[in-house]
Amino acid sequence: MTRYEQPPFVAERDLERATRILGARCGLRFHPGNRELLDEGLRRAARAEHDTPARLLDRLESDQSEALLQALVRHVTIGETYFFRHPEHFDALREELLPELMRARGATRVLRAWSAGCASGEEAWSAAIVLASRAKADFTLTVLGTDINRNSLETARTGVYGAWSRRGPLPYATGHLLQEPDGTTRIARELRDLVRFEYLNLHDPIYPSLLTGTQGLDLIFCRNVLVYFEPEAARAVLARFHLCLIDGGYLVLSAFDAALAPDGFETIHLGKTTVLRKRRDPAQPAATPRVRLRTPVPEFCATGAARRLPSREGLAQLRQAKAAADEGDVARATALARQTLASERTPEGLHLLAMVLGERGERDEALRLLRETVADAPDYVLGRLSLGLAEEEEPGARAGHLRRVLELVGARRDMELVDGLDSLPVSWVRKMATAALRRIEGEK
Ligand SMILES: C[S@@+](CC[C@H](N)C(=O)[O-])C[C@H]1O[C@@H](n2cnc3c(N)ncnc32)[C@H](O)[C@@H]1O
């Protein structure tokens, strides 16, 4: 008899069900070696939900909501992290990658990084510290931290950490990690402006996308995350990362994950470590990952189902502006979007300008443009979704927008694409709107 067949452990068939659910919805893999984690996590999740593991799984099988998935995910994922973990990566960033990226981005003066699977945020802050220590004076820096665990993201957003997060060496951190009298560590104000944390399930086909801020990146860190994934799911994530990076952009992974990366990356050996670089050699078809993505990549699409279509010239201009945003060239994207709007006012143009201005930190102007987008085209789903997700909008109004988004997607099939600035699957639009709505309602 194995350990799992005895009470109080979870029945083997329920572990199988949990494995199936977590694989299908999060890409996670629970092999015999980490079944114990699943067993304990499932029991803890069930206790927190005042239910039995079997009944919680019944609910998860019939309720696709992200809120219920969260109830399980937070107990079965490992959020282990600390500042400057694997310091060789940060040394390589500072000494090798950053000088090269700064040269390559000398014209746009923008550097964009993503910590994918950031847990409580220490990796994102560490990357921000290195970027700020070298490039803050001359570049606009943005760092995005994402995770599937909303509790971890809450910690990341507070920017206050205990001693355990500082257990490694803290190079370049002077002035950025502030020691409080009570022993905690607080992130300095100037660093907080560079970093933002968002929920993103890496198994969802929603990146690269302007709506998730995952386009036109120079640098992606994804360490100690894909080791928990099904190999096929990890390959799909890596193929998407390839699309998120600009040519010459870097992907920093844990050692074993690199074997799953698509051909469009080259391996760069740097002293004690290796990183992947998106090929820029025009002879190499960099944009063709070896892995075919089963799900579509968000891209500009205007079929005009619910609104007037832009003219052919307008569409061409919009695509150019969107391409600049996709390359992370925020200044050019802003200029092109303004130009487009001057000749033809379209909801997609207003939406695009709002998103790029939002990325530049011009939040009031972005909000004004999103409101105009919705006023001009009340049934343009993605514009309304962006407004419903904008934290600056008043909660009652946000809830109204999100409810309208859900009405607009109605009974449309999950994998159908919602057209617009960054055509996304209906399933994702529904999930984002439902999750945001629940949070607003929970806050009331
Ligand atoms: C061990 S932590 C790694 C933290 C950090 N990257 C580091 O190396 O220090 C793994 C993180 O991956 C997150 N994760 C697991 N599955 C995920 C998914 N499908 N999408 C996004 N994040 C996920 C977990 O919630 C957890 O916070």
Output the 3-class SS for 294-330.
CCCCCCCECCCCCCCCCCHHHHHHHHHHHHHHHCCCH
pLDDT value, residue 427:
87
> Distance between CA 318 and CA 401 in Å, rounded?
25
Q: Are 379 and 306 within 8 A, CB to CB?
A: yes
pLDDT value, residue 296:
59
Q: Is 158 helix (H, G, I), strand (E, B) or coil?
A: helix
Is 70 exceeded by the pLDDT of residue 67?
Answer: yes
CB-ligand 1 contact for 262 (6 Å cutoff): no
Count of residues in the chain: 444
Q: 150 CA to middle of ligand 1, Å?
A: 11
pLDDT value, residue 5:
44
Q: Residue 7 — very low, low, confident or very high, per pLDDT cuts 50/70/90?
A: low
Residue 54 backbone phi and psi in degrees, to 5: -65, -40
Q: Is 401 helix (H, G, I), strand (E, B) or coil?
A: helix
CA Rg, the chain, in Å?
A: 22
Q: 235 CA to middle of ligand 1, Å?
A: 16
> Distance between CA 236 and CA 247 in Å, rounded?
19
Q: 433 CA to middle of ligand 1, Å?
A: 23
> Most distant CA pair in the chain: distance in Å?
74
CB-ligand 1 contact for 153 (6 Å cutoff): no
> Distance between CA 56 and CA 68 in Å, rounded?
9
Mean pLDDT of the chain: 89
CB-ligand 1 contact for 28 (6 Å cutoff): yes
**At which residue do the structure tokens 């509790």 appear?**
151
The mean-pLDDT minimum among 46-50, 83-87, 311-315 falls in 311-315
Q: Are 354 and 386 within 8 A, CB to CB?
A: yes
pLDDT value, residue 154:
95
Tokens for 427, please give them. Answer: 């399933």
The mean-pLDDT minimum among 89-103, 118-132, 285-299, 421-435 falls in 285-299
Is 70 exceeded by the pLDDT of residue 291?
Answer: no
Is 90 exceeded by the pLDDT of residue 326?
Answer: no
Q: Is the dihedral of CA 37, 275, 145, 161 positive or negative?
A: positive
- Whose C-alpha lies nearest to ligand 1, atom 5? 118
Is 90 exceeded by the pLDDT of residue 422?
Answer: no
Mutate which of 148, 150, 204, 253 for ligand 1 pocket (most atoms within 8 A of beta carbon): 148
Is 90 exceeded by the pLDDT of residue 4?
Answer: no
> Distance between CA 236 and CA 214 in Å, rounded?
15
Residue 247 backbone phi and psi in degrees, to 5: -55, 135
> Distance between CA 387 and CA 351 in Å, rounded?
10
Calculate mean pLDDT across residues 99-120. 95
In 3D space, the residue among 261, 268, 213, 267 whose CA is nearest the CA of residue 238 turns out to be 261
Is 90 exceeded by the pLDDT of residue 205?
Answer: no
Q: Other CB atoms closer than 10 Å to residue 441's CB: what's the count?
A: 11
CB-ligand 1 contact for 119 (6 Å cutoff): yes
Helix (H) or strand (E) run with residue 400 in it: helix 395-409
Is 80 exceeded by the pLDDT of residue 2?
Answer: no
pLDDT value, residue 297:
64
CB-ligand 1 contact for 438 (6 Å cutoff): no
CB-ligand 1 contact for 340 (6 Å cutoff): no
pLDDT in tens, 228-278: 999 999 999 999 999 999 999 999 999 889 999 999 999 999 988 999 999
CB-ligand 1 contact for 127 (6 Å cutoff): no
- Whose C-alpha lies nearest to ligand 1, atom 12? 117
Q: Are 324 and 338 within 8 A, CB to CB?
A: no
pLDDT value, residue 298:
66
Q: 319 CA to middle of ligand 1, Å?
A: 34
Q: Is 9 helix (H, G, I), strand (E, B) or coil?
A: coil
> Distance between CA 185 and CA 43 in Å, rounded?
33
The fraction of the chain above a pLDDT of 70, given in percent, is 91
Tokens for 209, please give them. Answer: 């996308």
CB-ligand 1 contact for 57 (6 Å cutoff): no
Q: How many helices (H) and strands (E) in the chain?
A: 17, 12
CB-ligand 1 contact for 230 (6 Å cutoff): no
Q: Is 309 helix (H, G, I), strand (E, B) or coil?
A: coil
CB-ligand 1 contact for 77 (6 Å cutoff): yes
Q: Residue 306 — very low, low, confident or very high, per pLDDT cuts 50/70/90?
A: low
Tokens for 416, please give them. Answer: 């159908």
